[in-house]
Amino acid sequence: MMAWTDRHCRFFHRLLSQRTLLYTEMVTTGALTHGDVTRHLRFNREEHPAALQLGGSEPADLAHAAKLGQQWGYDEINLNCGCPSDRVQRGAFGACLMATPQLVADCVKAMVDVVDIPVTVKHRIGIDQEESYEFVRDFVGTVAEAGSGVFIVHARNAWLQGLSPKQNREVPPLRYELVWRLKQDFPNLVIVSNGGLKTNDDMAQQLTHVDGVMLGREAYYNPWLMSDWDARYHGEAERVLDRDAVELAMVDYMERAAAEDGCPWYAIARHMLGLRHGLRGARYWRQVWSDHKLKPLPPREVWKMAQAHVLAAEEAVPVVATL
């Protein structure tokens, strides 16, 4: 979810669910060692609970990055061992790390030794043509011994050659049964299922076998799916959420971000374009918030224009043809 789940996206998602654990986009150890730490780690206090997802393969560098994450207030450190992109492979991290479970264990141990917050691992069920259950079982067993108690498992292999990252999310078949077997073989670990989940029914099925579920792009494109998760999954009292109120809260946030660091409203608005997914008038509403010609306007003026389309759609009377 690089360039997707930034702090503005996470602020938006937090308006929809107070309890769902939110993950950052992957931040590389190189970016934290040589880059702008504030830019990469800054987040809003409203985002808690939030996990910092790291990309790297050097134990010392990951320990340094994890320590920074804790200092900045993150609630969890997550090591990405699932990304199959060529760029990530060139950096010798992501899904290719599954071929070296002892190195992953060393990385986890280095992080566990320097932080007091959980260190978790996100990974695939296999790489390339290695489709045996024993491969992922041994990977999890080795890494768990280093101190990680939570494994987020994308139920597809990662093909390191021949497929794009997009194809890697669609072409290798989903094999949830391998994820479920991990929970059976490691009952003391927290096993979280990821990949291909789009509805609450999908999630309910997984939760009869594992401890949790993770959604990525579906939560981004259809964020209103999250609106009842606090009550449905976390035992909270039901909240009455309203899309108009959420949108207005985002306008307030846009104004706040502009005042704090000059962030333009359109860098934030792009993350909420799925808010009215499936509703009448959603297309025109998205067009307003995406219109480059409106960039010079303050966000509250853009909001008024977008609301006009929503009201027009709600007041439209269906045409009934008769013979």
Exposure string over 20-54, b if 16+ CB within 10 A, otherwise e: bbbbbbbbbbebbeeeebeebbebbeebeebbbbb
| CB-based burial label for 90 (10 Å; 0-12, 13-18, 19+) | exposed
Exposure string over 126-161, b if 16+ CB within 10 A, otherwise e: bbbeeeeeebbbebbebbbebebebbbbbbbbbbbe
Q: Round to whole Å and give the CA distance between 187 and 230.
A: 25
Q: Is 96 a catalytic residue?
A: no
Contact between 299 and 289 (Cβ < 8 Å): no
**Alpha carbon of residue 104 to chain centroid:** 21
Of 9, 83, 96, 107, catalytic: 83
Residue type, 246: V
| Nearest to 195, CA basis, from 149, 150, 158 | 158
Q: Round to whole Å and give the CA distance between 55 and 27.
A: 6
| Nearest to 107, CA basis, from 149, 48, 154, 66 | 66
Residue type, 245: A
Query: H helices within 200-242, ranges in order?
Result: 200-206, 217-221, 229-234
Give the residue numbers annotated as catalytic, written as ranges: 83
